[in-house]
Structure 1
Amino acid sequence: MLSTTVMYFVARLPNEDLMSWGWRIPFLTGFVLVVVGMMIRLGVEETTDFSEVKKAGAVQRNPIGNVLRTMPGRVLAGIGLQAAVIVLFYLITTYMLTLATNVHGFTRGDTLIILLIAGTIDLFAMLAFAVLSDRFPARRMFLIGSVFTAVFAFPMFLLFDSGNMLLMTIAFTVALVVGHAPTYAVVSSLTSDLFPASIRYSGVALCSAFAGVAWAGPTPIVATALVPPDGSAHWWPLPVLLIATVVISITSALVVRPKAPAEEEQGVEVAVS
């Protein structure tokens, strides 16, 4: 929301000013968020599970090495869990906004308004689903959101292809609120459940980093290769791409169950620091 708001006002600058100095504004304001993020992180206490690991003197000397050596399958599962979550989000927030500008003639400001509306509602939806995940199984919520993403893939692009700003806003909002929000709200919880407490942080960090490389970066590149953003090709490969990532996410959620407490430290090399 903050980045989109900043970009909306920056995009209203004359093109010459935008290209010469305006583009620096979002990067400079980003440093403020880094400081805020550091303050929040430093104020967060360790989890009870990890505090018990530290008390027992079972902190890992090489947690990343242990994760990759003993649980590569769980790392792959954690990466797979995020496939549809990330691809849906980056299709909407990068590629489809460019398509709206190039094909449907929207201004940069128009596309950012659409994104701001959909993203704001998505933010509050994620908070609501996070609260609901304390009452309902996180995996069930993840599967429901993933299935909806697949079901709504073609309708979303049909609404987008209308070239109508209201219909585009509805398409993005519904996709983010019902597809992205319930999955994103719980995917970190599902990922953390894959690893025992002594290596959990490293396991989750590896999954998140590799998922970004595997899904976030390539999404606009692959989408552009499949459907050039100049309107020269039909959009049907894009919902097919999205559905394929949903299959990956659902498979990852189903084939790997969380480790039971009795299994947590089995097979994990524990080294006293």
Structure 2
Amino acid sequence: MARQRRRAAISSVIGTTIEWYDFFLYGTMAALVFPQLFFPKGDPYVALMQSFTTFALGFVARPVGAAIFGHYGDRLGRKTTLVVTLLLMGLATAFIGLMPTYDAVGLWAAVIVTVLRLIQGIGIGGEWGGAILLSMEWGDERRRGFMASLPQMGVPFGLLLSSIVTTLTIAATGDAFGTWGWRIPFLLSLILVAVGLYVRLKVYESPLFQKALAQKAISRVPVGEVLVKHPGEIVWSMLARVVENGSFYIFVTFIISYGTTYLGMDKSVFVNATIVAALANMIAIAFFGHLSDRIGRKRTYLIGVLMMILWAFPYYALVNTKNVGFIFLATIIAMFLHGILYGPQAALIAENFPTRLRYSGASLGYQLTAIIAGGPAPLVSTWLLKTTGSSAAISLYVIVLGLISLAGTAMLKDRTEAPLE
């Protein structure tokens, strides 16, 4: 039992790391090189908006992936779906690395990269629910917050890995990065997928799902049933995530284009700041996941939301100094605060759904946020900056997201000490 618990936790972390590496890599390249590679030459602002639009479409696809793999995850099991999502994500990412550019195929370049981005979104949409449930349902009842937070660490691990690989590739290829060097990080995904599959195939199915299967308590149409029986939990989960999801993509994706185009600084400053900040994010996720087992998920999460609201203006005040030290400090604090939210979030959401519907319900609640928060965040931020010429509008945007999250979190039930069944 203890061995399988370790395997479940390790496989979830490794698998989610690989999937988020793929997902974040696209976001970084959407800010750095995709506007020049895949879209018509002309106004740089228009090209950047087009690039961020394809980035956002990946988020639109995530609820689709949540519905598809939520259905099969609640009917066939968590492990099977996790193997499929890993393959789907990895292959789509590798194909992006083989993409022809606009100069070679014209508008077909934008069409193909958009389709591959949609496939990425479907893959990541199905990944999250299975990964956190496999870890949480194998874990100790008294440590559910911590166990569910471990797969969440795949986000900073993936961010760290994609940032390091991008930085090393930029250094190694120099001026050639914009022509062919950018392809290398995408093609490396094939090696990562092979490692992930090896680890995941060694894990047994979650004991809670096995029990539901033995008792013939499996839903015939889990997505439909959870929408009918638990619509409130899905909506409140979605709203509770808004500030976590939206601010994250402002801090790690939009900030690269903000720093290079608006502040006129070198892109490596912001990529390197993200690498260091990812370490702070990892520590915060694990610690606050653990803390939520002691003081409650809801209380921990509300503290995180309030702190994120308070940080909205100081963050840009530090970044706008153009001082490298202050930029690093701003990014580290921002990502630490994100970890306060992301640590207890998985258990907070998943505990609000029964085992037979948990994959579908938790996945939908989590992934629907991507449409209204994470996906549009770089796009909205770019528009606000262009329209107002000031970062103050973006800070106000983060505060609005925070107020929405306060309302959503207040409506969720705290089941920290309640049994999963």
TM-score band by shorter chain is 0.7 to 0.9
Letter in 2 for 1:105: G
Is 1:25 aligned to residue 184 of structure 2? yes
Partner of 1:175: 334
Mapped to 1, the partners of 2:349 and 2:180 lie a distance apart of 41
The one-letter code sitting in structure 2 at the alignment partner of 1:19 is: G
Taking the aligned partners of 2:373 and 2:260, their CA distance within structure 1 comes to 24
- Change in Cα spacing, 1:199 to 1:123, as seen in structure 2 (3 Å) is same
Q: In 2, are the aligned partners of 1:77 and 1:253 still within 8 Å (CA)?
A: yes
| Residues 73 and 224 of structure 1: CA distance in aligned 2, closer, same or farther (over 3 Å) | same
Partner of 1:201: 359
Q: CA–CA distance in 2 between the matches of 1:219 and 1:68?
A: 27
More helix by percentage = 2
* Per-residue Cα deviation, 1:213-260 (whole angstroms, up to 9, x for no partner): 33221110011111139xx70111111111111111121111132579
Residue number among 360, 369, 392 corresponding to 1:211 in the alignment: 369
Aligned to 2:268: 109
Q: Structure 1 residues 39, 6: CA separation in 2 closer, same or farther (over 3 Å shift)?
A: same
Secondary structure class of the residue paired with 1:87: helix
Residues 104 and 163 in structure 1, CA contact (< 8 A), matched pair in contact too: yes
2: CA distance, partners of 1:127 / 1:227: 34
Separation in 2, partners of 1:101, 1:92: 14
For the Cα contact (< 8 Å) 2:237–2:349, is it kept in 1?
yes
In the TM superposition, what is the alpha-carbon distance from 1:129 to its structure 2 partner?
2.0
Distance apart, 1:4 and its partner CA: 0.5
- The partner residue of 2:285 within 114, 122, 126 is 126
Once the two structures are TM-superposed, the CA of residue 73 in structure 1 deviates from its matched residue by 2.1
Identity %: 28
Summarize the alignment of residues 1-273 of structure 1 with structure 2, pairs less than 5 Å apart. 1-12=160-171, 13-15=173-175, 17-177=176-336, 179-228=337-386, 233-257=389-413
SS at match of 1:105: coil
Q: Which runs of 5+ in 1 are unaligned?
A: 266-273
Show CA shifts across 1:85-137 (max 9, x none): 11111001111121111232321222211111111221122122222222221
Which residue is 2:150 aligned to? none
Over 3 Å counting, the alpha-carbon distance change for 1:38 and 1:162 in structure 2 is same
Q: Is the 8 A contact 1:196 1:259 kept in 2?
A: no
Secondary structure of residue in 2 paired with 1:150 = helix
C-alpha distance in structure 2 between counterparts of 1:34 and 1:136, whole Å: 37
Structure-1-length-normalised TM-score: 0.87
Distance 1:259 1:114 in 2: 36
Q: Bigger CA drift: 144-153 or 80-89?
A: 80-89
Q: Are 1:195 and 1:259, in contact at CA under 8 Å, matched by a contact in 2?
A: no
Is the alpha carbon distance of 1:90 and 1:74 closer, same or farther for their aligned partners in structure 2, counting shifts above 3 Å? Answer: same
- Inter-CA distance 38–83: structure 2 relative to 1 (3 Å threshold): farther
Kindly indicate whether structure 1 or structure 2 has the higher relative contact order, using CA contacts under 8 Å at least 6 residues apart: 1
Q: Which amino acid aligns with 2:321?
A: S
Aligned-partner Cα distance in 1 for 2:288–2:194: 28
**Structure 1 counterpart of 2:303, one-letter code:** I
Whole-angstrom distance in 1 between the partners of 2:204 and 2:163: 31
Residue 384 of structure 2 contacts residue 394 of structure 2 at CA under 8 Å; is this kept in 1?
Answer: yes
Q: Report the Cα offset of residue 141 of structure 1.
A: 1.0
Cα offsets for 1:60-106 (capped at 9, x unmatched) = 11111111222222211121121111111100111112111123232
Please state how far the C-alpha of 1:41 moved relative to its aligned partner: 4.0
CA distance in 2, matches of 1:218, 1:118: 23
Query: 2-side partners of 1:260 and 1:128: how far apart?
Result: 16
In 1: Cα distance, 2:417 partner to 2:356 partner: 12
Distance 1:35 1:84 in 2: 34
